[in-house]
Amino acid sequence: MTNQLRGDDDMTLTAQAQAPGTAAETLARAEALAPVLRERAAEIEQHRKLPADVVELLRGTGVFRMCWGREWGGLELTSAEQTRVVEALAYGDASAAWCAVIGANTGIYSNFIDQATAKEMFPRTDMITAGLLQPSGRAERVPGGYRLTGRWPFGSGIDHADWVTSGGFVFEDGKPYASPDGSNPHESRQFMVPREQVELIDNWHTTGLCGSGSCDYTITDVFVPQEHTYSFGVVHGRPSPLAQPDAFTRAMCGVPLGVARAALDHAREIATSRIDRMTGVAWADSFRAQVTLAECEADFNAARAGVYTAMTRQWEVLEAGGTLDDLTPDERAASPLSWLHAFRTARAIVNRLYDLLQTWSINKSSPMDRWLRDTTTMCQHLIAQDRILQSAGAYLVGGQPEFGISLGIV
Amino acid sequence: MTNQLRGDDDMTLTAQAQAPGTAAETLARAEALAPVLRERAAEIEQHRKLPADVVELLRGTGVFRMCWGREWGGLELTSAEQTRVVEALAYGDASAAWCAVIGANTGIYSNFIDQATAKEMFPRTDMITAGLLQPSGRAERVPGGYRLTGRWPFGSGIDHADWVTSGGFVFEDGKPYASPDGSNPHESRQFMVPREQVELIDNWHTTGLCGSGSCDYTITDVFVPQEHTYSFGVVHGRPSPLAQPDAFTRAMCGVPLGVARAALDHAREIATSRIDRMTGVAWADSFRAQVTLAECEADFNAARAGVYTAMTRQWEVLEAGGTLDDLTPDERAASPLSWLHAFRTARAIVNRLYDLLQTWSINKSSPMDRWLRDTTTMCQHLIAQDRILQSAGAYLVGGQPEFGISLGIV
Amino acid sequence: MTTTPEATAAHRGEPDTAAEILARARALAPVLRERADEIERNRKLPADVVELLRGTGVFRMGSAREWGGPELTSMDQTRVVEALAYGDASAAWCGAIGSLTGPIAEFLDADVVKEVFPRQDMITAGVLVPAGHAERVPGGFLLTGRWSFGSGVDHSDWVTSGAFVFQDGEPYASPDGSNPHESRQFLVPREQVELIDNWHTTGLCGTGSCDYTITDVFVPENRTYTFYEPRGRLSPLSTPDAFMRMLCGVALGVTRAALDHAREIATTRIDRMTGTAWSDSFRVQVALAECEAAFHATRSGVYGGMTRLWEVLEAGGEPTPEERAASPLSWLHAYRSARSIVNRLYDLLQTWSINKSSPMDRWLRDTTTMCQNLPAQDVVLESVGAYLLGGTPKFRISLGITT
Amino acid sequence: MTTTPEATAAHRGEPDTAAEILARARALAPVLRERADEIERNRKLPADVVELLRGTGVFRMGSAREWGGPELTSMDQTRVVEALAYGDASAAWCGAIGSLTGPIAEFLDADVVKEVFPRQDMITAGVLVPAGHAERVPGGFLLTGRWSFGSGVDHSDWVTSGAFVFQDGEPYASPDGSNPHESRQFLVPREQVELIDNWHTTGLCGTGSCDYTITDVFVPENRTYTFYEPRGRLSPLSTPDAFMRMLCGVALGVTRAALDHAREIATTRIDRMTGTAWSDSFRVQVALAECEAAFHATRSGVYGGMTRLWEVLEAGGEPTPEERAASPLSWLHAYRSARSIVNRLYDLLQTWSINKSSPMDRWLRDTTTMCQNLPAQDVVLESVGAYLLGGTPKFRISLGITT
């Protein structure tokens, strides 16, 4: 009843043999899948990665196709539409939504890869790429490509991926390789490797987001052809708002927003009917419940509006053919700041609601337990770290951002 | 009734012709003076410095004598006793208490000055020293002393002082003067100058602490004899817990603690009798008032206990002949951290109580208005700045403290 | 010759578009900033500042097209108030309050509107809370009472005041039994109102929000109204919460001003003790970025909720509970975030904030005082919470509930 | 031959001083830390861990001298609980709960104490909230009910449970008219209690705080008691709030452990992206120092308030309202500060916190769960606020009010 993320569409899951063709249909399927994900959340958590059929359920919503351009047969959703889909999935389960948004980025990566090669690599637009972009591996230049070796942490969804993308520093004859144009004393690139050539290490035992399977992985002396490597500084695809270096982090904040909305609805539903045992007062008439819920709603509304406002403005400018430099500094900083704010606000809301429900929260049978752990864990992701504040703040006052890519500065 | 700082002593103000002889008597006089200060708070604020007779009322409590050793005829209160006296005065008025604790430090400075000179400079132990210790002036070495010139900000209570102490960098022949032992490439010292040789600049117009008269002042080419200069690195007086470089900042946190207690008592008194106009519910039965007041009490108790616990432990060690190095790192860091925590907690409490009382707070006739502005302003003092956190944190993890003196590291 | 009211307004050179009013408000902001100290000391707006405000069109921005007004949306009105508050909070506050003339006209009969508001830039001020006593007499009421917090009453043309209705000294119940003790709003000419000079406050000092009294003044029946009976054209401005919507622009404008001030300082300052540039300092970078993040979310929440509510109301629809709730929650969030951001920036600038010559001093006091205003009080949270949980909201007007 | 009980205890090698118990608790902490993961997975204390705890003397620390116990002050008891919690929160929680045997003895007749507690290191656990039904029968009561959150019941010797008293199926009123429906505590041997395996929680997972039932068990009159009728020597431990005093040591011990853990890491870590040592990072320095400041104040508040209350009670005095209020407020403050500090440190260590191999994961979950325990709930604030304002406190026992 209070689920703002639910549409009126009563599409059944069986209808999904046919791929969705519109943003509305994808969103409707995501909304329809949410209760299924909610029911399976405990199982997903115990599995410590998505069960194979859950991956297929996600695929059926079209989420993995949402970032691909129309010319590829993709859905080409706007960032705002993508985020709504992610919210809808996270309303069901955070780990599933996390893997969904990671996998959906495949369409974005394709913009940075040689287009003919991309067509070979991705015969279908619902294929999944996973991996860690931060350069943690070592790539030795060899004729026609590189030999890649390394260990990367946090490979969310990698087990069910088709391709693995990994950041690596480039070496030549064992020495750091500098960019020929002198721009970078030690170049790093992204390397695409088929899933089969990657070894997983079963070490994803965490406070929350337990089902995302974000384990470490290794790649050992694998040959990667030059055309399977790319850099976010060079666009090969059609210029579009999604062919931008910050594009792949935009929709992630749908995960905390969806979880927070779920927790708000859960707490409201309980508060609507509960009676305080000690005093006999209905929670609906209790100052404590009223004020806590209203404060959380206020924070949620602002955090969510901040995300969509920044995202919509950015899309307008980019779609009109502009670049991120055409945004005002405030507008440009607003993007990463709104993501961080969504993560942190979602977690604060879940903490407050956990306390509102007191001992009703602590049992594993309550979703509050999982949401508390999920939001705490996702706030440790780079996107919610102080480094994002540092970078945006430095950008605004003329200092040196530690992590410029969050502002689309490559 | 709820005034925890008030004793049972009903000593009248007229009895104060006789100087107090004990900590208890000084505290009792401070408590007796508090209501007088409260009544005159608006006048003190408008005056932008303490009226002359208020200075005399403070002198009558013995506060200015509290840091002097017994051998000087002083009261030699422990740091904890001093802080209680300051709390009692701040319960009446923050600006008066601020000037009191500044002036009271005279007895501490005397430990670092040649003792024969100090006896000449301070024929009485209720004389007042004020000034800014951070080196902002320039002192040229000349035969027998220095010629001092400079402008210093924040000279709290300087107008009614007998002596002015000011930090200055030392120069010789116009060049930075290095310590002969090589320890300091550019030496700085404290310079004691009679009040008459100091010019005040009437620029103390602030959010709060308006009555402290903490204006800028200048000293222009004044000769300061060598023996009227000192450094906190060299003790001339009898070794004592007060002959320590951090001693003069210890009791300052009595000001925010006294103000917070005053605000708590004020809010409690009001909440005990007020009825909510819209609903007819007594505030005494209102969840909002109950929880706000109790949270503020909890925070206050902890902040205050933190101050006295650290202070008492430090005193024990120092009185037994130990040094600050005999404290554990945690104990040593606890001192400046507990001061900062008292300042910031007091301000947070006053803010919450201001909101509890809503439109009853905003009028200048409510003390909440002044307390809000006072606590906000005092939190900008170095003692409550992030620099203190940085210094204590760096000390605990082996980094470089920016402001070591807060930890007694000269 | 037929003349549309818009043409008339344009003919007189009065600002008649959102863009024009907003541009004039922005142009006035630096003037207001310069005069902020004087406005504060005056404890009410100086007469010429009132005229400067009038010149921007702020007082007419809520007037309907059919009366010759520009009828700005709530969003545009809020932008105007923000722009003024960027200059001075007290001036913007009085600007927002004074702009209620237009919306109030929607609750009066057309002939009364023509009589009392011959121009669209007249100022109505007053206190809506029923604090007075109105005795029914032939043709109207005898009004007596004392009201608190009458922002801008001194420079107003008309004063609107809430009062309980009595008949023969007894509480007057609605004839239809819906209300055991009716209350109404009463419009009284400024000249019949006495001011009490008691506005001495922490902040918003220049709003002149003093108490006022009205004593035995006859108010004709048709100069009284209730928010439950709009008589003009129904519009998103004729619901009772419309009066409070744009007021939170004051909080947003002050915060933006404080952020810009702090950023400007941070760009050039060097830390004396360590020699580090503030632009390279983690402390400064993170504090500013956190404040920007909070501000961006807060402001987006205000405009996002307001735009959605406007769309629904304009289409004649019924807002969902979430849409209704979002509106007062976003106001409260604006006031409280403004204050917490200003506090944080005040601390960021440390002793550079405390002097009266720094605008941080005024902004701290202004935002603190604003947070004591009804739309920022806990009662809003309590009421919205009750509404969402099926309890009984105390402050229903904030939710635009008229039934 | 006369033997004092203390001598006997010493003879048996049992720890009989605060110093000795504290030393043993500290020595056990690293063992508990190593076994924390196993304790958590077991969802209750493994049997040998219970014996390790027994060996420290924690279960006997509240037993009076006249029974051969060491009768630690509340402050010393809290220190012991802190020391255990430095190792593992669940073990410390059960240690604290199990130590209630001594205080409970003060509410029983001496001959009953000799019978039910032949040794001072026996464990009593259970739920004091009256959730059961006790029918008066000749010589005692027939007890039936289901209780939630029975921490440590599985390894206990005796189970104490609150229940409402009935006579002939009707609520039983106190003969003196003071209470329309009396409730009492009932002591039942562990064997007569059934456990329900439903303790699956966010944190404090190893406490085994599952539901339990008692069905139609006869409890002799003299194995029942109320906290309003102490029968032993009056002491600061025989007031009803004494049961909760030392429990907040769990929160303090966990926080100290987390602080030490974070400090140790911060001393050596280098930021990968910038190459800056954490020991030189403003972010790290300030976060750690703020947490230390909050911890120091919180802990001082607990011991300061507790010491003062102890002094007054021991001297037979009546605490002031502020002294009474300080006690439950300091517990709540300990739980809530612990959690906020652990959250802050969890974020400080970022992705190094999330893995189950980091103790931060467990401490985050433990402190979150602890905050849902009654002494950390808003009802404490509400009750203390009501008490200080002259309203009606709901949770009077936290204030030690028995009248």
The rounded percent of chain A whose pLDDT value lies above 70 is 96
Give the range of the structural domain holding residue A294, as residue numbers without chain letter. 247-407
Say what angle helices D378-389 and B254-273 make with each other, to 10 degrees: 80
Contact yes or no for B380 and C350 at CB 8 A:
yes
The verdict on A381 and A286 lying in the same domain is yes
- The whole-number average pLDDT for the span A295-301 is 95
A372:D149 CB<8 A: no
pLDDT of residue A405: 87
pLDDT digits (tens, 9 = 90+) for D55-114: 999 999 999 998 989 999 999 999 999 999 999 999 999 999 999 999 999 999 999 999
B221 and B259 together in one domain: no
Contact: A364, D202; criterion CB under 8 Å: yes
Q: Is A345 on the interface with C (CB under 8 A)?
A: yes
- What is the distance in angstroms between the Cα of B133 and the nearest Cα belonging to chain C? 14
CB-facing half-sphere around the CA of C259: CA atoms within 13 A: 26
pLDDT value at position D12? 59
Measure the CA–CA gap between A154 and A151, rounded to whole angstroms: 10
Tokens of D278: 């954490």
**CB within 8 Å: D301 and B306:** yes
Which segments in chain D show pLDDT lower than 50? 1-11
CA distance A290 to chain C (A): 4
By CB atoms closer than 10 A (0-12, 13-18, 19+), residue B2 is: middle
Note whether C255 contacts A: Cβ–Cβ < 8 A: no
> Helices (DSSP H) in A48-191: which residue ranges?
52-61, 79-92, 94-104, 106-109, 115-121
Give the number of other Cβ atoms within 10 Å of residue C177's Cβ.
7
Q: Which two tokens stand for residue B66?
A: 């509290």
Do B107 and B134 belong together in one domain?
no
Q: Is the separation of the CB atoms in D398 and D244 below 8 Å?
A: yes
pLDDT computed for residue A10 by the predictor: 40
d(CA A390, CA A410): 16
Instruction: Give me B23's structure tokens.
Output: 């900590």
Evaluate whether ipTM surpasses 0.95: no
Residue B380 forms contact with C (CB below 8 Å): yes
- Where residue B188 sits, what CATH number does that domain have? 2.40.110.10
Q: Are residues B90 and B134 in the same domain?
A: no
Query: Could you give the 3-state DSSP secondary structure of residue D317?
Result: coil
Instruction: Using an 8 Å CB-CB cutoff, list chain A residues near C293.
Output: 306, 337-338, 340-341, 389, 392
User: What whole-number distance in Å separates Cα of residue C197 and Cα of residue C210?
Assistant: 6
Task: Give the span between the Cα atoms of A213 and A20, in whole angstroms.
Answer: 27
Is there a domain that residue B21 lies in?
A: yes
Task: Supply the CATH number for residue B79's domain.
Answer: 1.10.540.10
pLDDT given at position B279:
81
A346 pLDDT tier (thresholds 50, 70, 90) = very high
**Model pLDDT, residue D298:** 96
Nearest chain D Cα distance for residue C281, angstroms: 9
Nearest to C297 among A294, A338, A400 (CB): A338
Query: Are A153 and A254 found together in one domain?
Result: no
Local structure of residue C298 (DSSP, 8 states)? H
Residue C388 tokens, joined: 């969402």
Domain CATH code at residue B344: 1.20.140.10
Residue B363 belongs to some domain of the structure: yes
- Residue A408: left if φ>0, alpha if ψ -120 to 50, beta else—which one? left
The answer, for C222 touching chain B at a CB cutoff of 8 Å, is: no
Question: Could B284 and D389 be called an inter-chain contact, meaning their C-beta atoms sit closer than 8 Å?
Answer: yes
The pLDDT value given to residue D230? 87
**Residue A1 — pLDDT band, cuts 50, 70, 90?**
very low
Q: Do C297 and A271 touch (CB under 8 A)?
A: no
Give the number of other CB atoms < 10 A from CB of residue A14: 7
Shared domain check, A34 and A90: yes
Rounded Cα distance between B367 and D244, Å, is 38
Is-contact D294 B341, C-beta < 8 A? yes
Q: What structural domains and CATH numbers belong to chain D?
A: 5-116 (1.10.540.10), 124-225 (2.40.110.10), 242-399 (1.20.140.10)
* Cα Rg of chain B (Å, integer): 22
Q: Which residues of A touch C326 (CB under 8 A)?
A: 297, 301
Contact between D202 and A361 using a beta-carbon 8 Å cutoff = yes
CA–CA separation, D58 vs D164, rounded Å? 31
Tell me the average pLDDT across A89-114. Answer: 97
pLDDT over 90 for what percent of chain B? 87
CB contact under 8 A, B369 and C202: yes
> Is A366 a member of any domain?
yes
**Which of B205, B230, B255 is a domain's end point?**
B230
| Measured CA distances, B292 to A205, B278, B288, B306 (Å) | 40, 19, 6, 21
Domain count, chain B: 3
> What is the DSSP secondary-structure string of D84-114?
HHHH-HHHHHHHHHHTTHHHHHTTS-HHHHH
Minimum CA–CA partner of A389 in chain D: D283
| pLDDT at residue B205 in the model | 94
Closest CB from D198, D346, D379 relative to A376:
D346
Q: How many CB atoms lie within 10 A of CB D224?
A: 21
Residue C232 confidence (pLDDT): 83
**Does B173 lie in the same domain as B59?**
no
pLDDT tens, B300-359? 999 999 999 999 999 999 999 999 999 999 999 999 999 999 999 999 999 999 999 998
Q: Rounded to whole angstroms, how far apart are CA atoms C183 and C133?
A: 9
pLDDT tens digits, A52-100: 999 999 999 999 999 999 999 999 999 999 999 999 999 999 999 999 9
Alpha-carbon gap, residue B309 to B315, rounded angstroms? 10
Among the candidates A198, A230, A262, a domain finishes at: A230
Cα distance between residue D249 and residue D95, in whole Å? 11
- CA D41/CA D213 separation, integer angstroms: 24
| pLDDT digits 0-9 by tens, A197-233 | 999 999 999 999 999 999 999 999 999 999 999 999 8
- Indicate whether A158 and A97 sit together in one domain: no
> Which of B112, B146, B173 lies at the terminal end of a domain, its last residue?
B112
Segment B349-386, tens digit of pLDDT? 999 999 999 988 988 899 999 999 999 999 999 999 99
- A156 belongs to a structural domain: yes
- Note whether B267 and B221 are same-domain residues: no
A257 and A134 in one domain?
no
- Looking at the fold, whether B214 and B324 belong to one and the same domain comes out as no
**Residue A122 placed within a domain:** no
In a domain, A236, yes or no: no
Asked if B329 and B402 sit in the same domain, the reply is: yes
* D26, two tokens: 């500290």
Which whole number is the average pLDDT over B24-30? 97
Q: B338 contacts in D (CB within 8 Å)?
A: 293, 296-297, 300
Extract the residue ranges of chain C whose pLDDT is less than 70: 1-13, 402-403
Residue B220 resides in a domain: yes
Position A390, amino acid = Q
Q: Is residue B327 part of a domain?
A: yes
- Quote the pLDDT of residue B17: 57
Contact D281 C282 (CB under 8 A): yes
Provide DSSP, B31-57: HHHHHHHHHTHHHHHHHTS--HHHHHH
| C contacts of D281 (beta carbons < 8 Å) | 282
